[in-house]
Amino acid sequence: MGEDLAPLWIDASAAQSIESITAEARRIRDSHGSLSLVVVDYLQLIRGGRSRNEMREEEVARVSGGLKQLAKALNCPVLSASQLNEQGQTRESRAIAQDADAVLIIAEDGIRIAKMRNGVRDSVLNLKIDGRFQRFTEPQP
């Protein structure tokens, strides 16, 4: 129908670091003028350059903060998946939820808005995941 599609770049390199993601995002922005969205799958897989005496929580916090700074520097949203612990909180570092502008949790009853920096939270988006196609759909009546 003549719709304009946004270009898409996928970097599936192993052992990504916050520095390599930042450098690649800036390279793409500089060569194409802008970025509309950066997606990271998933935060706990990114290396943060942990030193010998540093705890994993500190490394994950540095990665989380790095993604927040990347969003500010590129002036575009950075979306990242994160594991949750048994209590439904971000795993390995509280900094993930603190740095995030929004925290969405895929739940049985839809997508729960756990945090929304400038909006309504503790509500549920009435969407169901369709596992066959890995997409969200509105429930049928």
Domain boundaries, the chain: 18-137
Please identify which residue in the block is written with the tokens 């890995």.
134
Looking at residue 21, what is its pLDDT?
A: 94
Assign residue 26 a region: left if phi > 0, alpha if psi is -120 to 50, beta otherwise? alpha
Between 52 and 26, the more confident residue is 26
Q: Of 49, 58, 50, 54, which Cα lies nearest the Cα of 21? A: 49
Position 1 scores a pLDDT of: 46
What amino acid is encoded at 126 in this protein?
Answer: N
- pLDDT of residue 2 exceeding 70: no
- Name the average pLDDT for the chain: 87
What percent of the chain shows pLDDT beyond 90?
36
Q: From residue 94, give the alpha-carbon distance in Å to each of 33, 51, 56, 82, 90.
A: 34, 20, 12, 12, 6
pTM: 0.83
What's the whole-number mean pLDDT along residues 25-45? 91
